[in-house]
């Protein structure tokens, strides 16, 4: 699993920050659905056009290559989710609460947007573009918790623990998608286990993990 950033925020924002045309929005949403089921190397323009319900010429006019579309789709997904989590947790001073809330938002969104969830599960372990999901708020909250001695983790262990955290989130998403638990149940359990691994007492970890969760803000 790659957790080192390999795309700059500006590059990702370039694919996420500009206002898309209606055709580009349809292509992006179709790409998310198609790539959730297939590797980019197995997708062709005809299939993408059918999924987006646009002419193949529209695809060619808005696309450099299938590979670049995958990279832009992943970059857009990362920037958008990171910004929404940051907005939702920015007023919270405790890094433990921020981290737990952020993890639970992934599970909540997996329930609400299955295509988004399947895209992440399929590609997060192999796509360097998706590393920004973990290098955003999760990394910053871990580092803040270590610096404040809120978490019992050596600074050199942050990257290793981030990998464990990413695996727990992906596993939780699979449980939600497969109907083995609600997003509330799985999200709170993933958050609780994560916090206990960071040294929080069991009762406190549970209390933080089941706090009322505000709605995830909409993308700006």
What per-residue confidence (pLDDT) applies to 18? 58
What per-residue confidence (pLDDT) applies to 126? 83
Q: Residue 156: pLDDT band by 50, 70, 90 thresholds? A: very high
Contact assessment for residue 27 and residue 43, using Cβ atoms and an 8 Å cutoff: no
> What is the percentage of the chain residues whose pLDDT exceeds 70?
91
Residue 2 pLDDT > 70? no
Q: Locate the domains of the chain by residue range.
A: 9-13+74-209
CATH assignment, 9-13+74-209: 1.10.357.10
> What is the percentage of the chain residues whose pLDDT exceeds 90?
67
| Model pLDDT for residues 8-33, shown as the tens digit of each residue | 333 344 444 457 788 888 999 999 99
Residue 181 pLDDT > 50? yes
Report how far residue 48's alpha carbon sits from residue 101's, in angstroms, rounded to the nearest whole number.
Answer: 35
Report how far residue 86's alpha carbon sits from residue 217's, in angstroms, rounded to the nearest whole number.
Answer: 9
- The whole-chain average pLDDT of the chain stands at 89
* Residue 83 Cα distances to 102, 155, 161, angstroms: 11, 25, 22
Residue indicated by tokens 């955290």: 165
Report how far residue 220's alpha carbon sits from residue 201's, in angstroms, rounded to the nearest whole number.
Answer: 37
| Model pLDDT for residues 92-149, shown as the tens digit of each residue | 999 999 999 999 999 999 999 999 999 999 998 888 888 888 989 999 999 999 999 9
């Amino acid at each position: 699993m790659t957790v080192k950033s390999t795309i700059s925020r500006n590059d990702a924002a370039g694919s996420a920050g500009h206002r898309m045309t209606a055709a580009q929005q349809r292509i992006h949403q179709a790409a998310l659905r198609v790539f959730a089921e297939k590797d980019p190397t197995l997708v062709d323009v005809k299939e993408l056009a059918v999924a987006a319900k646009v002419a193949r010429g529209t695809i060619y006019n808005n696309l450099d290559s299938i590979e670049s579309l995958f990279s832009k789709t992943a970059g857009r997904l990362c920037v958008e989710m990171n910004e929404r989590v940051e907005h939702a947790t920015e007023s919270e001073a405790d890094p433990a609460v921020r981290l737990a809330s952020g993890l639970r938002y992934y599970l909540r969104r997996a329930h609400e947007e299955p295509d988004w969830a399947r895209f992440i599960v399929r590609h997060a372990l192999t796509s360097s573009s998706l590393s920004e999901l973990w290098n955003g708020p999760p990394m910053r909250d871990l580092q803040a918790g270590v610096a404040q001695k809120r978490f019992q983790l050596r600074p050199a262990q942050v990257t290793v623990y981030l990998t464990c955290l990413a695996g727990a989130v992906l596993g939780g998403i699979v449980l939600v998608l497969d109907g083995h638990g609600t997003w509330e149940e799985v999200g709170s359990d993933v958050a609780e286990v994560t916090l206990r691994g960071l040294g929080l007492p069991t009762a406190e970890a549970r209390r933080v993990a089941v706090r009322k969760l505000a709605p995830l803000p909409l993308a700006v």
